[in-house]
Chains A and B, each alone.
Chain A
Amino acid sequence: MRSFWSITLATLTKDIRLEWRSKDALNAMLFFSLLVVVIFVFSFDPLAEESRHIVGGLVWVAFLFAAVVALNQTWARELRNQVLDAYRVSPAPANALFVAKVLGNFLLVSVLEALMAPLFVIFYNLRALGPAWQLIPVALLGTWALVVNGTFFAAMSLRTRSRELMLPLLLFPVSIPAVLGMVAATTNILTGENSAHFYIVLLLTYDVVFTTACLALFETVLQAE
């Protein structure tokens, strides 16, 4: 078990170092999210009340599309020079690689959310009428839902010819329950009309189920040719 976490940490550190040096994923994600915010601001000019009803959807759709950019990068790096094969021939557990990739993507998408959230607040003149602290568990659980499935499906589409197209085709349908939960919870918190409690529990359940399933299947995906 110590070895598992030691390998996970080594892989996570390596991925952060590679991303810090190249900034491939972070730059692309930031640029994409910024574009979404600006385009939506110019497309609609909502009042504060209307914003509370639509911004939950806008925020999560922007983050979902931006996350796909990072998720594709995660594995592309491992394909260059067949580095993934070096991992496959080692005795390191497959799930250590998966957990490291999920944590890395979680950090990346969380950084993006932390940078973009103030922009959404400013551009849409947002102020939560419900308990604003609940946005934190919604963001954490929602982000985990996106990256755990995203990392898994990105690995699955790794060896397909058009993997950048394949990832959203696999990821988006599976993410629908989580996205609905995130959007509904965020809207409820912003408008203060209903409790977000049900959707937070839904997200938690979704995360547990899909994390377990991904961990159970990842070794098969990694060893597939």
Chain B
Amino acid sequence: MRASEIPAAVGIISVSNLVKQFGRFAALRGVDAEFDAGKFHVILGDNGAGKTTLLRALAGLAQPTRGTVSILGKTPYDACREIGYMAHTSMLYDEMSGMENLRYFARLYDIAGDSRCEQVIHAVGLDPELSRPVGQYSQGMRQRMSLARAILHDPKILLLDEPFSNVDVHSAREMVGLLKGMSDAGKTIFVVTHQAVLLEGVADEFVWMQAGQIVDRTNHFATDSARAEEP
């Protein structure tokens, strides 16, 4: 456990006074929030608002300059088996096939055999027999395989950074369907996206970020102007 991260209550994902600085630039400026486990959270905001940094802090990839992160009562470091993280790049080796990639990552989580890898590849709508290297996949296929890698160890919490970027509308809707299924199965999902309209009616909460802080939290998606008119 790292000294700067003190666990809070179990069943909750919380950040307290979270500050993350890159040199003199503060990407997160004292974020305080609690997120219920088992819900679907969408993080929105303009470029540079701190969405990706918040997600990386939750994943344990960005060490807070100040403040604490608690994942189900543990530090992100200790809760790593409960977290599945998907970045906006594929986090896969381009020279290996999807199955070869997943086989390798399965070993990191002590998952033996191919059955779990085949299961998650089927779950994201791809074929485990596909022998092409990932570098030759379409962007949509790569995103799905990246999701397969993130859910390989059956984590309780999924942190997804721009899962619909560069994906056509049809593939994006299919991915939303997949995520809804996972949410219904009790997973806690955080999605950073600029295409929030895809998640209208699916997500439980929309979290708005601006200049490194959470400025609003709503249970429905509304554009900036619509939110401004709300009482």
Contacts and interface: CB of A to CB of B under 8 A. Distances in A.
A90 B93 contact: no
Given A3-B110, A7-B108, A89-B80, A225 B91 contact: no
Contacts of A11: 104
B80 A90 contact: yes
A91 B108 contact: yes
**Secondary structure dominating the interface of A:** helix
Interface string A1-20: 00100110011001001100
Contacts of B110: 3, 6
B76 to A, nearest CB: 8
Contacts of A6: 107, 110
Interface residues of A, number: 25
B93 A77 contact: yes
Interface residues of B, number: 26
B87 A85 contact: yes
Interface string B53-66: 00000011111000
Nearest to B63: A225
Contact of A18 (B59, B80, B91, B95): B95
Given A85-B61, A223-B63, A22 B95 contact: yes
A43 interface: no
B85 A81 contact: no
Please provide the 7 A-B residue pairs with the shortest distance between their CB atoms, ordered closest to farther.
Answer: A10-B107, A92-B108, A90-B108, A86-B91, A81-B89, A82-B89, A81-B90
Interface of A: 3, 6-7, 10-11, 14, 17-18, 21-22, 77, 80-83, 85-92, 223, 225
30 contacts: A3-B110, A6-B107, A6-B110, A7-B107, A7-B108, A14-B96, A14-B100, A17-B100, A18-B95, A21-B95, A81-B93, A81-B94, A82-B87, A82-B89, A82-B91, A85-B85, A85-B91, A86-B91, A86-B105, A88-B61, A89-B59, A89-B60, A89-B83, A90-B109, A91-B80, A91-B81, A91-B109, A92-B108, A223-B63, A225-B62
